[in-house]
Amino acid sequence: MSSISNLNINGAKEERKEKKPEIGLMSKNNEHIFRQLYFDGDKQFYGFGEQENKAIKFNTTITGYSEKYDVNLSYVFNTNKPNNHLIVKAVYDKSPDSEYLIKLDPKTGDTYTCRGFEIQRKTGGKTITYKGHRGYINDIEIITGKNYLISSAEDASMNIWNLETGEKLLSVYVVDMGKLIFITPDNYYMATGDALTGLGFNFDGKVFPAEQFDIKYNRPDYVIESFGYFEQDMVDLYHKAYLKRISKLGFTEEMLEGKINLPELKINNLNEIPLKTTTQNISVDLSMSDKNYDLDRVNVYVNDVPLFGTKGMSLKDDKSGNIKKKIDIPLSKGDNIIYISCLNEKGIESLKEELSVHYESSDNTKPNLYLISLAVAEYEDSQYNIRYTINDGEGFIKLFTENNSKNFNHIYVDTFYNASCTRENVLAVKDKLMNTDVDDYVYVHIAGHGLLDDNLDFYFATADINFAHPSRNGLKYDEIEGLLDGIPARNKLLLMDACHSGEVDKDDDFAVNTVTDGDDTRGVTMFSTKATGTPKTGLQNSFELMKLLFADLKKGTGTVVISAASGGGYALENEDIENGIFTYCLIEAVSKGRADVNEDKEITVSELRTYIFDGVKRLSGGKQQPTSRS
């Protein structure tokens, strides 16, 4: 918020304070108000509310989930025996001058008094005030061993304070059961699940959705660091996840420093764009501006697929904060939901402009299908040979070519098996995919070993890979997904039947220098060293961590990704079916129509995902846990 300039003691005028966005909840409809608080003394904290007697449970990763409890929501005398804190007075008369809740700590003799929106602690002849709620306080909990005071109030927040200083460390909001938002006093935040949709910023007198400032203020590493509860290794892990996120978006930390300024984008010919058209392309005339910074890029999404890839259309060469640009957008047959926005060089995004155009095509030409299969059973280093990957690749091709010609104009097939499956050969197929059409389909299937390098980045094991150094000849995950990034085709599916195919980051759940039995397990995990201090996050891998923390990664390339195993898991083979379990379930789902739950003769991605997930877990006895991203 802006403030009036003041004069310093020397009479010189101080600089006007920088305008900063102020964060808050967009709606009160789904707020969960904590009525009672409880800490069990074993790194678990509970906030009890009124919705179906449910409690929000917080563990050491600051993630949360809901459980049912029998909750006593009385405001009468109550003893909290586990922590030996006694409520000596509880009067539900919430007025600014009333002392309506008093707690006594028998160990120290300190008293805690609630008045209006404030808490006062009297200790050793001094008074410490905890001020920051915007509603009457419901309950407080003192955790002396951790030096925390935790309070809940009618403003739907649960605040965590430094017990000795009165400094507010964090505010916690629940926008729905299990959807949590953690906010620091500096407006940095961390949101679990899709809780981000309940968050907004007040900036310069206007309200904006959180995504406008997300790249700057969505900082889980700052959140857990400000809490002061976690070891530095945990902070470093979250920071690494953030760095990977901004790297994927083409930014660095240095680029994101500086004052906040919101760029603007306007579609000048908006009123000229029809709601329905028989022309495949529409043209948008854009004016983009930023008062303080150069513009960096423009993003165009059509049905959630980025027209110019994940990094958008670069505007860097213009070196300007005022740019006019005309962009032609090819339409898919049927409905087209289009979002357009621009970003400045500090990573701040403009408000999205939305268009909806229905394209009625007179062209009855069917789309093309592109099938790409990567499978390696025989490696240059033969000790890593496995049995059924070629079966998987051939089964994938057969699945989508037999009896499928009636659905497509042409089916293009590219297979990279054994010796032909090299990094250079696979990456060369991108040129072919750049010639696809927007309505075409591209399916990629991968079967073989997955490896991790010293940085725990995922590589698919090509035939000539160096197993001790996967980056030598290995196919990195970003390169695999990059095959589908920015291509015209908008119907894209990536199926990965390899271990660690969920993406991985440092986590002490992984084995060291371990080679698994190639007869029944795909995958090698190899580390040159193993540090002792990498903490468990409570999350299986960075894929899940990044999905939890950063909503924009769900957009990605517009590709649906279904992988055989989570980042710490294994992709299993079964000699009875002579396939990897993942690919076997894929074949069963499609060839026998078992994924067609509603029996409408069509299998949606959602139906396919559900069938594969359930089938893989069942056939592997829970040992294999698929993951998905769309």
pLDDT band per the 50, 70, 90 thresholds, residue 582: confident
Lowest-confidence pick of 2-6, 260-264, 406-410, 474-478: 2-6
Which residues, in sequence order, are bridge partners of residue 25? 199
Task: Give the span between the Cα atoms of 157 and 136, in whole angstroms.
Answer: 11
Inform me whether the pLDDT recorded for 437 exceeds 70: yes
The amino acid present at 212, given as its one-letter code, is Q
| Domain 369-629 in CATH 3.30.70.2740 | no
Q: Report DSSP state, residue 423.
A: H
Percent share of the chain, pLDDT over 70 = 70
Q: Which pLDDT score is estimated for 507?
A: 37
Half-sphere exposure of 335 (CA within 13 A, CB side): 4
Distances in Å between the alpha carbon of 500 and those of 189, 291, 504, 541?
Answer: 29, 45, 7, 9
In the structure, what pLDDT confidence band is assigned to residue 576 with cuts at 50, 70 and 90? low
Cα dihedral 211, 535, 538, 522 sign: positive
pLDDT at 567 over 50: no
193 confidence band (pLDDT: 50, 70, 90): low
Cβ-based neighbours of 600, under 8 Å, separated by 6 or more: none
Number of C-alpha atoms within 13 angstroms, CB side, residue 83?
A: 24
Quote the CA–CA distance of 506 and 238 in Å, as a whole number. Answer: 10
Q: Identify the residue whose tokens are 């592109």.
A: 370
- Assess whether pLDDT exceeds 80 at residue 63: no
Q: What average pLDDT does the segment 351-369 reach?
A: 94
Rounded CA separation 336/356 (Å):
6
Across 184-193, 332-341, 513-522, the highest mean pLDDT is recorded for 332-341
Q: What is the pLDDT of residue 97?
A: 58
Position 109 scores a pLDDT of 79
Judged against a pLDDT cut of 50, whether residue 35 lies above it is answered with yes
Average the pLDDT over each of 29-33, 335-339, 358-362, 440-444 and give the range with the smallest value: 29-33
Ranges of beta strands (E only) in 270-330 are 276-277, 281-289, 295-302, 305-306, 313-314, 322-330
CB atoms within 10 A of CB 494: 22
The mean pLDDT of 235-242, rounded to a whole number, is 82
What pLDDT is recorded for position 100? 62
279 HSE (CA, 13 A, CB side): 8
Domain 264-359: what homologous superfamily? Answer: Immunoglobulins (2.60.40.10)
Q: Compute the average pLDDT of residues 222-241.
A: 82
Res 540: pLDDT: 37
Domain boundaries, the chain: 23-255, 264-359, 369-629
Exposure on the CB side of residue 427, measured as CA atoms within 13 A: 13
Q: Which of 37, 44, 33, 39 is nearest to 140 (CA)?
A: 37
For the segment 554-566, the average pLDDT, to the nearest whole number, is 73
- pLDDT, mean over the chain: 76
Average pLDDT on 361-367 reads 94
Q: Find the mean pLDDT for residues 121-125.
A: 87
pLDDT in the model for residue 528: 28
Mean pLDDT of 149-162: 87
Average pLDDT over residues 424-450: 96
- Residue 214 and residue 204: Cα distance in Å, rounded? 17
Residue 621's pLDDT band, with cuts at 50, 70 and 90, is confident
**Cβ 560 vs Cβ 626: under 8 Å:** no
pLDDT at 560 over 60: yes
Confidence band of 99 (pLDDT split at 50, 70, 90): low
Question: From the CB of residue 42, how many other CB atoms can be counted at a distance below 10 Å?
Answer: 8
Is residue 283 within 8 A of residue 269, CB to CB? The reply is yes
Is the model more confident about 246 or about 289?
289
Q: Could you say which DSSP state residue 600 is in?
A: S
pTM score, whole prediction: 0.70
Please tell me which residue, 153 or 274, carries the higher pLDDT value: 274
Per-residue pLDDT of 251-309, as tens digits, reads 888 888 877 788 999 999 999 999 999 999 999 999 999 999 999 999 999 999 999 99
Lowest mean pLDDT among 165-169, 239-243, 333-337, 569-573: 569-573
